[in-house]
Amino acid sequence: MGDEYLRIAALPVVQPIGQFYVGVISHTDLIQISFADMRRIERELDRYVGIQRKLLPQRVEEIGAFVNTIDATFPTSIVLSVPGSCAQYLEKTKELVLTEGLDEETGKPIPHYELAKILDGQHRIEGLKNLASGVAFQLAVSIFVEADIADQAYVFATVNLSQTKVNRSLVYDLLDYTKARSPQRSCHDIAVALDKFGSSPLHNMIKRLGSATPGRSGETLTQATVVDSLLPYISTDPLGDREKLARGKKVAIDDTEYQKTPFRPMWVAKRDADIARVLMEYFSAVAERWPQSWKGRERGNILPRTNGFRAFMRFLKNAYLHELPRPAENGVITRDRFREIISAADVKDGEFTTDVFPPGTSGEKLLYDRLRESTKI
């Protein structure tokens, strides 16, 4: 984690969706850490739910006047999403510590002013910028750590269902989005299944919403990491696929893109269970090839963590296409075949350390390159 930026008094809340945190924060701190991700308008979730919808100046003006009245109050929570690399909960002090961490996908720094993405409350936060100087105004916040796209969609929908400020048709469409078939939803469900299935090599390894599950230990991967790593195997245009399905249209298979999306034929055929089976077979072979590193949870061991997992997910495409260079009716490769492929890898058990493979994308690429070069695929 990066340098500590802010501590928020908070308590964990466990609900069926997973764990999140309810805390108290001053309006000045909230303004400093929160942002509306305008760069992602028209992409993914934002296009559907309006999380980053344009501000309504009149509404901001009204809220700005309201916060300066003698009995101003916002009794309901502001809802935020925070990257897992930027959050740590301290059980002893009941505090959620936010830090300026690194984006696990790009390796770029996450500054303090982009620590918390606003899922609900954008207008209230903008209105609070007009609060008179010296006035104390604390707010309740609900903070979801490392929520993937499906979780963000569901949270936004349930928060706004009873509110008139968001078009109810839009909210109901979003609820359909969270339940309807889509590349994002399939990857979400596969990640949940891999974590829950007792014989899965990833059993009890995946954290929902980026937070450790009470009563479990050894969770080294976030659900978002698993979903984001799997999604490119299914679709080059997840949003377009979702739109087609939502409109009752069929999604197509483009044989020319098989090398990019080798799992797409199975996904289009609604064989999500087979996709999960491929991942189980593959990572079972990995776990058997490097048992010490796979089971180890000591600090600095990257194999069961983000960098190691992402590198092996990248290498999965090489291994899969080596066995099935063209679409096949079955599409499931056995553990024995994966085992034979990775047996040629020159990485030794116990070598998966940050000393050998540095933190960040450089270490991930180094591991991927070694796997590819030593297996010659």
pLDDT single digits (tens) 39-52:
443 344 444 444 44
Going from the C-alpha of 47 to that of each of 38, 82, 148, 227, the distances in angstroms are 11, 20, 16, 20
pLDDT reported for residue 170: 46
Question: What is the DSSP track for 285-314?
Answer: HHHHHSHHHHH--STTB-TTSHHHHHHHHH
pLDDT reported for residue 103: 81
Q: What is the mean pLDDT of residues 5-13?
A: 95
Q: Which has the closest alpha carbon to 140: 245, 45, 22?
A: 22
At 28, which amino acid appears? T
Say if residue 176's pLDDT is above 90. no
Q: What is the mean pLDDT of residues 353-377?
A: 95
For the chain, give the number of residues. Answer: 377
Q: Are 190 and 221 in contact (CB under 8 A)?
A: no
Say if residue 297's pLDDT is above 50. yes
The structure tokens 């009204």 sit at 62
3-class SS at 354?
Answer: coil
Say if residue 174's pLDDT is above 60. no
Q: Are 142 and 21 in contact (CB under 8 A)?
A: yes
Q: Which two tokens stand for residue 153?
A: 């969609």
% of the chain beyond a pLDDT of 90: 62
**pLDDT bracket for residue 246 (50, 70, 90):** confident
Q: What is the mean pLDDT of residues 8-14?
A: 95
Q: Which has the closest alpha carbon to 79: 50, 51, 118, 45?
A: 118
Say if residue 242's pLDDT is above 90. no
Q: Which has the closest alpha carbon to 101: 117, 82, 125, 119?
A: 82
User: Minimum mean pLDDT among 29-43, 57-71, 125-139, 349-363: which range?
Assistant: 29-43
pLDDT reported for residue 17: 80
What are residue 299's DSSP bridge partners? none
Q: Are strands 87-90 and 4-15 parallel, antiparallel or unpaired?
A: unpaired
Q: What is the mean pLDDT of residues 180-201?
A: 89
- The torsion defined by the Cα of 154, 156, 160 and 162, in degrees rounded to 10, comes to 20
Say if residue 38's pLDDT is above 50. no
Which residue spans within the chain are E strands per DSSP?
4-15, 18-26, 34-35, 78-82, 87-90, 95-99, 116-120, 138-145, 206-207, 221-222
Q: Return the half-sphere exposure (C-beta side, CA atoms, 13 A cut-off) of residue 299.
A: 0
Q: Are 111 and 33 in contact (CB under 8 A)?
A: no
**pLDDT bracket for residue 3 (50, 70, 90):** low
Q: What is the pTM of this model?
A: 0.62
Report phi then psi at 299, rounded to 5: -60, 135
Question: What is the DSSP track for 218-271?
Answer: ---EEHHHHHHHHGGGT-S-HHHHHHHHHTTPPP---GGGTTT-TTHHHHHTT-
pLDDT digits (tens, 9 = 90+) for 154-164: 676 666 655 54
